Each structure stands twice: as structure tokens, then as C-alpha cells.
């Protein structure tokens, strides 16, 4: 898990929580209660695949996400019932991700050309 902060686009109030790095997820996901507390409105609906192979209609939100000390503005995110953020490939593509299994650590850093 990595620490993140989430807010409504250009909002004032932030929510701080952990994120699970998920290279299998196309999009980021934010817990429902966080989206509600920050008063984030959906911007569109997509047909989302679940990890079990099913599909369902899901609203897409835009949030500002601060992760690894970097602010990513207007990131597309689905809502999740999980108590943590899911950092999907739409977020991870901005970072070099290092997974150190023996030390149980995950780190993210921006490549120099991304800054």
C-alpha cells in the first residue's frame, strides 16, 4: 500500500488514505464514502469488467490524486466498496513502479522526462 490524498477537482478538502497498486486495473477506484464526502459528481458511465469476468454499468468520476508526492489532476476513477484507493494503470503509467517482495515494499517515482 502507498499513501494517497484525494480531492474533488481543484477542491479544498482532501481525504488521506492508502492505495493498493493494481496493474490489472485499467482505471483508478476511490471508496464510495470518500467520493460522497468530497461531493464528487460522476461525469459519465462505462461498462466495467469485474475481476470475475462479469460486466456492469459504472459511473466514472474525476478526482485530483496526490500520490508519491505528485499531483495528478482530474484522474478518472470508478467508485469502490473497498476501504482503500485502487491505483490502476491510468495512474501508474506516470510512474516507475518498484516492487521489492523480500522487503514487502512498493515505491513509485516519476521518470525525469515526466516532471
Domains of the chain, with CATH numbers?
Answer: 2-90 (2.40.70.10)
All 3 cell numbers of residue 57? 454499468
Cross-strand pairs, 63: 75
Share of the chain above pLDDT 90, in %: 79
Pairing mode of beta strands 70-80, 96-100? unpaired
- How remote is the C-alpha of 22 from its chain's centroid? 9
Mean pLDDT (whole number) for 19-26: 94
27-78 residue pLDDT tens: 999 999 999 999 999 999 998 877 788 888 899 999 999 999 999 999 999 9
Confidence band for 82, pLDDT divided at 50, 70 and 90: very high
Judged on CB neighbours under 10 Å (0-12, 13-18, 19+), 72 is: middle
pLDDT for the residue 39 = 96
All 3 cell numbers of residue 108? 513509485
pLDDT for the residue 114 = 54
Amino acid at each position: 500500500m502507498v499513501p494517497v490524498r484525494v480531492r474533488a477537482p481543484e477542491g479544498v478538502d482532501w481525504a488521506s488514505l492508502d492505495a493498493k497498486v493494481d496493474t490489472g486495473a485499467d482505471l483508478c477506484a476511490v471508496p464510495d464514502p470518500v467520493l460522497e464526502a468530497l461531493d464528487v459528481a460522476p461525469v459519465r458511465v462505462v461498462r466495467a469488467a469485474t475481476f470475475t469476468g462479469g460486466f456492469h454499468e459504472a459511473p466514472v468520476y474525476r478526482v485530483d490524486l496526490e500520490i508519491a508526492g505528485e499531483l495528478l489532476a482530474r484522474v478518472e476513477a470508478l467508485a469502490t466498496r473497498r476501504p482503500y484507493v485502487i491505483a490502476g494503470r491510468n495512474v501508474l503509467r506516470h510512474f516507475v513502479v518498484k516492487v521489492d517482495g523480500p522487503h514487502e515494499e512498493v515505491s513509485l517515482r516519476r521518470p525525469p522526462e515526466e516532471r
